[in-house]
Chain A
Amino acid sequence: MSRVSERGTILGNAVSKIKRVISVVLLFTMACSDARNEDPLSESEFSGFRVALLTSGPVSDAGWYGSAYEGIQLIEKTFGARISHQQTSTPAEFDEALRAYAVSGYRLIFAHGFEYQDAAIRVGEQFPEVTIIVSSGGRVSENVIPLIFELEEGSYIAGVVASRITKTGIVGMVGGVSTPPAEATFTGFEAGAKSVNPDVEVLVNWIGSWDDVAMAKEAAVTLIRRGVDVLIHNTDAASFGVFQAVREARDSGEEVWAMGMNRDQNDVVPEVILGSAVIRIPEAFLRLAKLWKEGKLPSGEAYYAGGQSGAADYVVNPSLAGKYKPELMAEIDSIRLGIIDGLIAVPRIDFLERVEGSF
Chain B
Amino acid sequence: MFESFSIVVFLGTAIRLAVPLVIAALGESITERSGVLNIGIEGSIIAGALCASLAALEWSSIFLGMVFGAIGGGLVAMVFAVFVLGLNADQIIAGTATTMAGLGFTGAIYQARFAATGSVITLPVLRSFEIPYLGEVPILGPIFFQQSITVYFVYLLVPTLWYFLFRTSWGLELRSVGEDPAVAEESGISILFVRFLAIMFGGLLAGLAGAHLALDSGTFIENMSGGRGFIAIAIVVLGRWNPVSIAGAAIFFGAASALQFLFQSSGSDLPFPLFLMLPYLLTLIALSGWFGRTKAPRSLALPWPSKSR
Contacts and interface: CB of A to CB of B under 8 A. Distances in A.
Interface string B214-239: 00111101111010000000000000
Contacts of B5: 225
B149 to A, nearest CB: 15
Contacts of A341: none
Interface in A181-231: 203-206, 208-209, 211-215, 217-219, 221-223, 225-226
Contact of A268 (B56, B120, B213, B264): B120
A204 B120 contact: no
A248 B216 CA distance: 11
A241 interface: yes
A16 interface: yes
Interface residues of B, number: 49
A269 B9 CA distance: 25
A17 B112 contact: yes
B261 to A, nearest CB: 4
A244 B217 contact: yes
Given A60-B117, A240-B217, A209 B261 contact: no
Interface stretch (B32-40, B121-129, B160-168, B298-306): B121-129
A269 B217 CA distance: 13
Contacts of B57: 2, 4
Contacts of B9: 221-222, 225-226
A62 B122 CA distance: 13
B265 A213 contact: no
B262 interface: yes
Contacts of B121: 2-4
Given A2-B123, A211-B226, A214-B17, A222 B265 contact: yes
A14 interface: yes
B56 A2 contact: yes
A204 to B, nearest CB: 6
A209 B120 contact: no
Interface stretch (A63-71, A283-291, A308-316, A342-350): A63-71
A33 interface: no
A42 interface: no
Contacts of B273: 208
Contacts of B111: 13-14, 17, 58-60
A269 B223 CA distance: 22
Contact of B221 (A2, A14, A213): A213
B291 to A, nearest CB: 28
- By secondary structure, the A interface counts as mixed
B281 interface: no
A8 B116 contact: yes
A213 B223 CA distance: 10
Contacts of B105: none
Interface in A20-42: none
Contacts of B10: 222
Contacts of A3: 121-122
A1 B60 contact: yes
B257 interface: yes
Contacts of B125: 244, 248
Nearest to B257: A215
**For the side of the interface on A, what is the size category?**
35 or more
A217 B217 contact: yes
B117 A211 contact: no
B116 A17 contact: yes
A172 B112 CA distance: 35
B219 A213 contact: yes
Contact of A214 (B60, B110, B116, B226): B226
Contacts of A223: 261, 265
Interface in A215-271: 215, 217-219, 221-223, 225-226, 237-238, 240-241, 244, 247-248, 268-269
A183 to B, nearest CB: 14
Contact of A237 (B13, B56, B60, B222): B222
Nearest to A73: B117
B261 A62 contact: no
Interface string B10-35: 10010011001000000000000000
Given A60-B114, A69-B117, A240-B120, A218 B261 contact: yes
Contacts of B60: 1-2
A1 B224 CA distance: 22
B20 A214 contact: yes
B107 interface: yes
A56 to B, nearest CB: 11
Nearest to B59: A2
A5 B120 contact: yes
Nearest to B217: A213
Given A213-B217, A222-B13, A5 B262 contact: no
B197 interface: no
Contacts of A203: 264-265, 267
Interface in B81-127: 107-108, 110-125
A4 B261 contact: no
Contacts of B112: 10, 13-14, 17
A93 B108 CA distance: 20
B79 interface: no
Contacts of B219: 213, 240, 244
A174 B83 CA distance: 42
A60 B221 contact: yes
A6 B56 CA distance: 17
B140 interface: no
12 contacts: A6-B115, A13-B115, A17-B111, A17-B112, A59-B111, A60-B118, A66-B117, A70-B117, A213-B219, A213-B221, A218-B13, A226-B9
Given A61-B221, A225-B9, 11 more contacts: A5-B120, A8-B115, A16-B116, A60-B115, A218-B261, A221-B13, A222-B10, A222-B261, A223-B261, A240-B219, A240-B221
Interface of B: 5, 9-10, 13, 16-17, 20, 56-57, 60, 107-108, 110-125, 213, 216-219, 221-224, 226, 257-258, 261-262, 264-267, 272-273, 276
Of all A-B residue pairs in the complex, the 5 with the closest CB atoms, nearest first, are A62-B118, A66-B118, A13-B116, A66-B117, A58-B222
